Amino acid sequence: MPEKQRESGKTSRERARRDSGGPMGHLIRPKQRAKDAPGTVVRIWGYLKRQQRALIITAALVVVSSILSVLSPYLMGHAIDALLVDNDVRRLGWLALALLGVYLSTSVISWLQTYVMAAASQQAVTDIRNDLFAELQTLSLRFFDRRTHGELMSRLTNDVENVSSVLNSGVIQLISNSLSLIGVAAMMLILNARLAIVTLVTVPLMASLSRWIAKRTRSGFRRRQAYLGELNSIIEESISGQRVVKAYNREDTIVNEFRTVNRKLRQASTRAQIFAGTLPPLTNLVNNTGLTIVAGAGGWMAIRGLASIGDIASFVQYARRFGWPLNSIASLYNSIQSAIAGAERVFEIIDEVPELMDQLEAEALDNIEGDVVFDDVCFSYEAGVPVLKHVDLHAKPGQTIALVGPTGAGKTTIVNLLTRFYDIDSGRILIDGINIRDLKLDDLRRKLGIVLQDTYLFADTVMENIRYGLLEASDSDVITAAKLANADQFVRRLPQGYATPLSERGSNLSQGQRQLLAIARAILANPSMLVLDEATSSIDTRTEKIIQEAMLRLMEGRTSFVIAHRLSTIREADEILVMNHGEIIERGTHRELLAQHGFYHDMYLAQFKGHIHLVPELAETAPAE
């Protein structure tokens, strides 16, 4: 477990429960700022309008398609009059051909506009997804401490996909239906103004119903997306922690937790879908009522001779077509609410301000000597829970500084602050006399070689995992680094050698083998300073000795910070800092600290209990009886 979690006494999930008042509560309470639906729509449009050429072509095609859709009832009415009133078969034939041409042209144009819009919308969605992923790379570790991985993955996948589904076809439908409504309304007014007014009276009623339902639908979809993120988090944790789940027989527990959240997701989804499903039937009811009135009034007018049968037939077609766009918009409106809910969650992350940023005039770090100073440094992961208290240390160029102490003492925190994974609360951290806040983050971390206790390997080949330390390195450089880390022998025994693909997190290797690859990665990076956090903690004693030789060659001439629980591995350090409760309580060389008979002496004695006769320095410093 990472020390920053041990020091605070809470895992990220436990902190989330405490902050929200319940299990995973922070995932079902979106931030208040993410409720501006018009602003969210404008931001989505900002991505879409980058595809200007495609949008112009699509708009032109939609206009033509809308005109054709409005033209067909008009031609149909004239065809009826040509047959029943004028008995003009020749004219009827031409009108039939014209109708056929309209229908064929409408089909072709609909396909073209869908094709062009699909490309434009997918590019917009790609840009959104790229921006979201890029933003995640800029955020500090503190941000990830407070959120589960599955919930963030849900925003990258499910929420973005909701936006994608609407942009693919929704934009075309919305524009096409809106233009159709305008065209149909105009044609109805031209044909018969009185009947048109009767039909158009239903529009304000539909607008009011849509607005009332939309508010409740969007909040329901937002809550559904939040629960879906929580469900993904449980899935991700259960899969990545499958060994722990099985080792402690917690299959039933994780299944029950999944069922609980899944039930909440079902309830939220059902509520959202109920509201979403209310609008289309209401729209149909209003439209059919209006159509009934139109049909009755039109029939009465035809009997009175106030309109021809063809005109009334055209008007009924227009009245029906006036309902189609309304129904389509009503159905689309629900999809839009779901997309807006997803987009709000996406933009909430994109709007996050990185906690750690380069100063406006940050200095480049070309070459460093490795003079490191911690000057009265205080730090806490959570407000009011201090982890480091007034820490002072000075590592001279080329020195090896060892950090020892019990779990939760603050050793890993010093590493986290030196690499500027977090910013300190007070004090200063200097490298070659320059405050690290005044250095460019990329330069700082490029000069640091890090081997952490929690080794992470990617789902790629062994070769590429080592090359991660220096992407431009040749294969021979990678192999040389592996030999220095004593990884070459076991790698060559793998089925495909350096081309062997690793599973996620390198789970098809032992912990010791994973750490050997991590050490090889650091060797390849050839850093100016080294940070070794329990770099040999999972390696057997025989391999540890070989690794120690390689590490000594790597540390030569470089300032190095070594965190170790095996005190035998840091006996040759230039200075050992003994930490407890966030403070440095002892400092000195190995022999100096043993001679003090203090905390370090007791720790060392405890590790060799029963074997003191094998440790000469303990015998030398033992008090006289």
Of 25-34, 160-169, 388-397, give the lowest mean pLDDT range: 25-34
Angle among Cα 170, 279, 111 to the nearest 5 degrees reads 25
pTM: 0.67
User: CB of 341 within 8 A of CB of 222?
Assistant: yes
DSSP state at residue 531: E
Distances in whole angstroms, Cα of residue 513 to Cα of each of 364, 479, 509, 522 = 36, 15, 6, 14
Each residue's pLDDT tens digit, 243-268: 667 766 777 888 888 888 888 888 88
Highest mean pLDDT among 58-72, 81-95, 144-158, 374-388: 374-388
Which domains are assigned to the chain? 32-350 (1.20.1560.10)
Distances in whole angstroms, Cα of residue 407 to Cα of each of 11, 411, 446 = 15, 8, 28
Percent of the chain residues past pLDDT 70, beyond the cut: 76
Longest dimension (CA), the chain: 131
User: CB of 339 within 8 A of CB of 170?
Assistant: yes
Residue 154: count of CB within 10 angstroms of its CB: 26
Each residue's pLDDT tens digit, 104-117: 887 888 788 778 88
Q: Kindly state the tokens that stand for 20.
A: 């929200």
Question: Between these two residues, 454 and 514, which has the higher pLDDT value?
Answer: 514
What pLDDT shows up at residue 281? 73
Q: Kindly state the tokens that stand for 101.
A: 């041409």
What are the strands of the beta sheet with 575-580, ordered from one edge?
Answer: 448-451, 529-533, 559-563, 400-404, 575-580, 583-588
- Asked whether the CA dihedral 188, 194, 199, 203 is positive or negative, the reply is positive
How far apart are alpha carbons 614 and 237 in whole angstroms?
A: 45
Each residue's pLDDT tens digit, 426-450: 999 999 888 988 888 888 888 888 8
Q: Kindly state the tokens that stand for 279.
A: 């609008």
76 φ/ψ sector (left φ>0, alpha ψ -120 to 50, else beta): alpha
Q: Kindly state the tokens that stand for 147.
A: 């959120």
Instruction: Tell me the mean pLDDT in the region 36-48.
Output: 83
Helix, strand, coil distribution of the chain in percent, nearest 5: 65, 10, 25
Of 179-183, 209-213, 426-430, 603-607, give the lowest mean pLDDT range: 209-213
Which residue bears the tokens 């205080």? Answer: 378
Provide the mean pLDDT of the chain: 77
Highest mean pLDDT among 45-54, 186-195, 298-307, 565-574: 45-54
**Long-range contacts of the stretch 205-212 (C-beta < 8 A, 24+):** 205/286, 206/283, 206/286, 206/326, 206/330, 209/279, 209/282, 209/283, 209/286, 210/279, 210/330, 210/333
Residue 410 CB burial class (10 angstroms; 0-12, 13-18, ≥19): buried
Instruction: Tell me the mean pLDDT in the region 28-46.
Output: 64
What pLDDT shows up at residue 243? 65
DSSP state at residue 576: E
Distances in whole angstroms, Cα of residue 503 to Cα of each of 458, 507, 511 = 8, 6, 13
1 pLDDT higher than 70: no
Q: Kindly state the tokens that stand for 472.
A: 């431009």
The number of residues in the chain equals: 625
- Packing angle between helix 160-191 and helix 37-48, nearest 10 degrees? 90
Closest among 70, 85, 164, 175 to 121, alpha carbons compared? 164
Distances in whole angstroms, Cα of residue 46 to Cα of each of 40, 176, 596 = 10, 20, 68
Residue type, 255: V
What pLDDT shows up at residue 3? 44
If DSSP codes are grouped into helix, strand and coil, which group holds residue 144?
A: helix
Highest mean pLDDT among 11-25, 184-198, 377-391, 558-572: 377-391
H or E segment at 389?
strand 388-395
What pLDDT shows up at residue 87? 67
Each residue's pLDDT tens digit, 186-214: 777 777 777 777 667 766 776 677 667 76
Distances in whole angstroms, Cα of residue 70 to Cα of each of 76, 99, 148, 242, 609 = 11, 12, 52, 60, 93
Residues facing 450 on adjacent strands: 531
